[in-house]
Amino acid sequence: MGEKEEVKLLGVWYSPYAIRPKIALRLKSVDYDYVEENLFGSKSELLLKSNPVHKKVPVLLHNNKPIVESLNIVEYIDETWNSSAPSILPSHPYDRALARFWSDFVDNKWFPALRMAAITKSEDAKAKAMEEVEEGLLQLEDAFVSISKGKPFFGGEAIGFMDICFGSFVVLLKAREKFKAEKLLDESKTPSLCKWADRFLSDETVKNVAPEIEKVAEFLQELEVRAQSAASRS
């Protein structure tokens, strides 16, 4: 595409959503500039201009054209650098539909339940949300067994679309395990997902871009302390 190719990614280091384009860009061997945003300070003008609707990271700027929403960015990367590496989405339309379905399930059903469990003050709502999270993990265990067909990843022999989507939350789950008395990925309930999660975190591409679990755990703890002290002031 000539010498003028400019690729820039706006993200924050701890965001599961920002990990996704990082993995995809690395899978496709695309060089890019990374800009760390500060969501606790004021958002950069570039972020506000590039994503005026949601004002969120990640944003990919390709030759100054903004692409937003993490999975949308991953599809864009897959379609744009389509000769650089194997396809991130499966090649058959039915398998693509399955990958999109389960990714949508993770982002719009499973993770919202986990977030609700983390932020609600009501013990009842928390218990109900955690039930949904655990039920969702059982459904994802079945999906993994059926989609991977005995291979290491949702994508088969290598990391694919659904691995990137769900895998981006594995760091968060492991970090929560470190500072909470919870074990969401439980070998007795979701044995295949547990093995998949370890394989995902050990993958060379992922290791190079995922934040350290220890650091994310400290950050989550800090957030909780901040939220509690804000609540005690109000």
Interface with its own copies, residue 40, by CB under 8 A: no
**Which amino acid type is present at position 176?**
R
Interface with its own copies, residue 53, by CB under 8 A: yes
d(CA 99, CA 9): 24
- Region 88-127 residues binding its own copies, contact defined as CB under 8 A: 93-94, 96-97, 100-101, 104-105, 108
Q: According to CB under 8 A, which one of 16, 17, 58, 69 is a site residue for its own copies?
A: 69
Could you tell me if 8 and 65 are in contact, meaning their C-beta atoms sit under 8 angstroms apart? no
Q: Which is nearer to its own copies, 37 or 75 (CB)?
A: 75
Q: Is 16 known to sit in a ligand binding site? A: yes
Q: According to CB under 8 A, which one of 47, 68, 159, 175 is a site residue for its own copies?
A: 68
Q: Which is nearer to its own copies, 65 or 215 (CB)?
A: 65
> Which tokens belong to 225?
């302390």
Could you tell me if 117 and 130 are in contact, meaning their C-beta atoms sit under 8 angstroms apart? yes
Q: Is 168 known to sit in a ligand binding site? A: no
Which string of DSSP letters, residue by residue, matches 101-166? HHHHHIIIIIHHHHHHHHH---HHHHHHHHHHHHHHHHHHHHHHHHHHTTSSBTTBSS--HHHHHH
Q: Is 83 known to sit in a ligand binding site? A: no
Nearest distance in Å: CB 109, its own copies = 8
Q: Which is nearer to its own copies, 98 or 213 (CB)?
A: 98
> Which tokens belong to 213?
């679990």
Query: What length is written for the chain?
Result: 234
Helix (H) or strand (E) holding 24: helix 16-27
Q: Which is nearer to its own copies, 90 or 167 (CB)?
A: 90
Q: Is 229 known to sit in a ligand binding site? A: no
Kindly state the number of chain residues that form the binding site for its own copies, as judged by CB under 8 A: 22
Q: According to CB under 8 A, which one of 19, 30, 59, 67 is a site residue for its own copies?
A: 67
Interface with its own copies, residue 62, by CB under 8 A: yes
Nearest distance in Å: CB 90, its own copies = 11
Q: What share of the chain is helix, strand, coil (3-state, %, to 5)?
A: 60, 10, 35
Closest CA to 106 of 149, 162, 59, 55: 162
d(CA 176, CA 48): 31
Q: Which is nearer to its own copies, 79 or 186 (CB)?
A: 79
- Binding residues for glutathione, as ranges, are 15-16, 42-43, 56-57, 69-70
Residues that bind its own copies (CB under 8 A): 53, 62, 65, 67-69, 72-73, 75-76, 79-80, 93-94, 96-97, 100-101, 104-105, 108, 139
